[in-house]
Amino acid sequence: MKTVPALKVEKLRKTYPGGLVALNDVSLEIEPGTFFGLLGPNGAGKTTFISSIVNLARPDRGRIEIFGYDAIRDFRRARRMVGVSPQEVNLDKFLTVEETLLYHAGYYGVPKRKARERAAELLERFGLSDKRDARTNTLSGGMKRRVMFARALMHDPGILFLDEPTAGVDVELRYSLWSYIRELNRGGLTIVLTTHYMEEAEELCEEVALISGGRIADRGTVGELEERHGASSIEEVYMKVIHADS
């Protein structure tokens, strides 16, 4: 029996005012439990892709299914399956760290007792327990990134989108976050990662798609892509595919 994909996107198209085609009939299918990388230069369509899936951007046409739920017609159930840690820090500066997590849980209808237990677990996991009563605007950049990770996981999603999750953090924190992301994936969580760091993609991702000009230029495992393009690293693959496509 065929498994329902964690994410199934068919012919997704998004054009912004002025005629910019951000997504050009993108089709992509990701199986449950996969650690998937989406690589591409700035303006390639990565963030628009994620925004369309979580209903922050309305595509012109196309179909999006999340664990079989139509992300447009059955938005509430589909959105419940998705966690997102965006590229830009978007924390409410007036909330404490713990309040940030609890408010997010409330938005998804998580019962209060369960939410407090989940918050305590995630605060501990991300080394934030001693910051639970601190307002988010007093945190360092790395701490804010940890809070965003924890917030994205509060409602126990089935698929987690990480948009440039380690941008602007120091090397030590980057490796710490890698370790935790791997642990989440080993626990069965499907992860979709966008990143500019080729090392990050090579270390973490089972499969990678290269996006350029709003379309998928190529996809496969790191090994498959290297063999297909006669490259010795994913960085070399990236340079060959993106330059050939530009």
The domains found in the chain, sorted by start residue, are: 1-81+157-246 (3.40.50.300), 88-155 (no CATH)
Residue 169 pLDDT > 80: no
Which SS3 state, helix, strand or coil, does residue 81 take?
Answer: coil
Please report the pLDDT score of residue 56 as a whole number: 85
* Kind of pairing between the strands at 82-85 and 159-163: parallel
For residue 29, the one-letter residue type is: E
**Which residue in 60, 80, 63, 74 sits closest to 8, CA to CA?**
63
Structure confidence by residue, pLDDT tens digits, 16-68: 998 889 999 999 999 999 999 999 888 888 889 999 988 888 899 999 999 99
pLDDT band at 1 (very low <50, low <70, confident <90, very high): low
* Spatial CA neighbour of 84 closest among 198, 160, 2, 19: 160
| 196 pLDDT more than 90 | no
DSSP state, residue 22: E
pLDDT of residue 245: 62
How would residue 221 be classed by pLDDT, with cut points 50, 70 and 90? very high
Question: Percentage of residues in the chain with pLDDT exceeding 70?
Answer: 98
C-alpha angle 40-240-199 in degrees, rounded to nearest 5: 55
Residue-averaged pLDDT of the chain: 91
What is the pLDDT averaged over residues 78-84? 94
The confidence score (pLDDT) of residue 41 equals 85
Strand pairing class (35-39; 207-212): parallel
Q: What is the pLDDT of residue 210?
A: 93
Sheet holding 69-70, edge to edge: 21-30, 7-15, 61-66, 69-70
Surface-to-core class of residue 49, CB atoms within 10 Å of its CB (0-12 exposed, 13-18 middle, 19+ buried) = buried
Q: In what order do the strands lie in the sheet with 215-221?
A: 82-85, 159-163, 190-194, 35-39, 207-212, 215-221
What element of type H or E holds 28? strand 21-30
Cα–Cα distances in Å, from 200 out to 75, 116, 193?
A: 31, 32, 9
DSSP code string of 141-196? HHHHHHHHHHHHHTT--SEEEEESTTTT--HHHHHHHHHHHHHHHHTT-EEEEE-S
User: In this model, does residue 72 exceed pLDDT 90?
Assistant: no
Report, as an integer, the average pLDDT of 119-127.
Answer: 93
Instruction: Provide mean pLDDT across the span 2-24.
Output: 92
Q: What mean pLDDT do residues 199-223 have?
A: 92
Residue 208 — pLDDT band, cuts 50, 70, 90?
very high
Q: Is the pLDDT of residue 246 over 90?
A: no
228 pLDDT higher than 70: yes
Say if residue 15's pLDDT is above 90: yes
CA–CA separation, 232 and 77 (whole Å): 42
Query: Is the distance from CB of 193 to CB of 162 less than 8 angstroms?
Result: yes
